[in-house]
Amino acid sequence: MTGNSTEGPYRGSANSQYYPFMYSQNVRDGLLVTLALRYEEDPSQFVVLSKHTLDSSSARVAVAELRNAGFVEEQVRGVIRLTSRGYKMYKAMPVPWAFAG
């Protein structure tokens, strides 16, 4: 390998475009789990997202997508809760380990 490349041996592989999607999906799923647990405790309670989460573009996109689909209500930027529609969608999702080999 020549130069100071940090792209590694997988540069340009099919998987290189897959990982950003996986990260975004993990962020979205993490938000859903957190919001669902809080919803089960008290459906009227909002969750305050951390500064680290708010600084993440993937998290902001996930919140926007969930909000636009009607699954999340946003009181102000970074203060969100699951809607009843969002909770029903969460409960209908397959469990991740169901897909394990």
Provide the pLDDT for residue 15.
45
The burial class, CB within 10 Å (0-12 / 13-18 / 19+), for 42 is: exposed
pLDDT tens-digit series, residues 18-69: 445 555 678 888 899 999 999 999 999 999 999 998 899 989 999 999 999 9
Predicted TM-score (pTM) of this structure: 0.70
Provide the pLDDT for residue 96.
61
Domain boundaries, the chain: 19-93
Pick the CATH number of 19-93 from 3.40.640.10, 3.30.70.3040, 1.10.10.680, 3.30.870.10: 1.10.10.680
